[in-house]
Structure 1
């Protein structure tokens, strides 16, 4: 039996997830953009989701896939998009896995005390807009 003590990190709460959704949506609304926002816990399970009724339907799927990708890679999707382009070192990654990965800006991992506790994904605007809305939400809460 190990004598090392594990550091417990509080999980992402539903209240925090809902606050992230509200903050991202407020940023998008201020910019005049209709979006979908997804927040996942550390296990990739849905904690909060909201699609603006004016947002394109696919934005719900893209926001969820962006969050999942950011969670699995522990990296903003904006930072890995170039890696999967045809000339990139990981160009086969999107098709190598049977997982809902999406390498478009708008997904961010969420950290507490240096550990990943979940992820947020925003879809519906341009990739730069989605990244900005997600970043604004994270900066307001973490």
Structure 2
């Protein structure tokens, strides 16, 4: 029998709280999504003032990071014209993105979920996602 780890609701809510703290410090309201290792939504927060258009983007960033098993910002270069994964953004009926702000959550080398953040600039989204992933790493990945 294969046993796998997956993020639970308590961990997901803790990670969202860490992301919310960072976004609040920055003064940038965000949409924050946590998915499990299969890309299914576990928890979500739309901070007051976050763009409603970015709700799906945050979820898609988390989905892509979980599925690709790497940060969305690191996928982008391989999907540019002439690169080996050009056109990947058209996969999965648009549920794949290389926009920064999606980061897998890893325990003992296994992806157990991912965080996706959207509503600020891509740099702000990435900063908040990194704060969430760092919190997860320090709190749960040992």
| Pairwise same-fold verdict (TM > 0.5) | yes
**Whole-angstrom distance in 2 between the partners of 1:124 and 1:97:** 22
TM-align CA RMSD = 1.5
Aligned in 2, Cα 1:133/1:96: closer, same or farther, shift over 3 Å? Answer: closer
**Whole-angstrom distance in 2 between the partners of 1:130 and 1:21:** 13
**Whole-angstrom distance in 1 between the partners of 2:118 and 2:19:** 10
- Alpha-carbon deviation of 1:51? 0.8
Structure 2 unmatched ranges of 5 or more: 138-142
TM-score by length of 2: 0.89
Structure 1 unmatched ranges of 5 or more: none
**4+ long deviations beyond 3 Å:** none
Name the structure where helix makes up a greater proportion of residues: 2
TM-score by length of 1: 0.89
Structure index of larger Rg? 1
Aligned in 2, Cα 1:90/1:10: closer, same or farther, shift over 3 Å? Answer: closer
SS at the partner of 2:93? coil
**Whole-angstrom distance in 2 between the partners of 1:96 and 1:120:** 20
**Whole-angstrom distance in 2 between the partners of 1:42 and 1:112:** 11
Equivalenced residues, count? 137
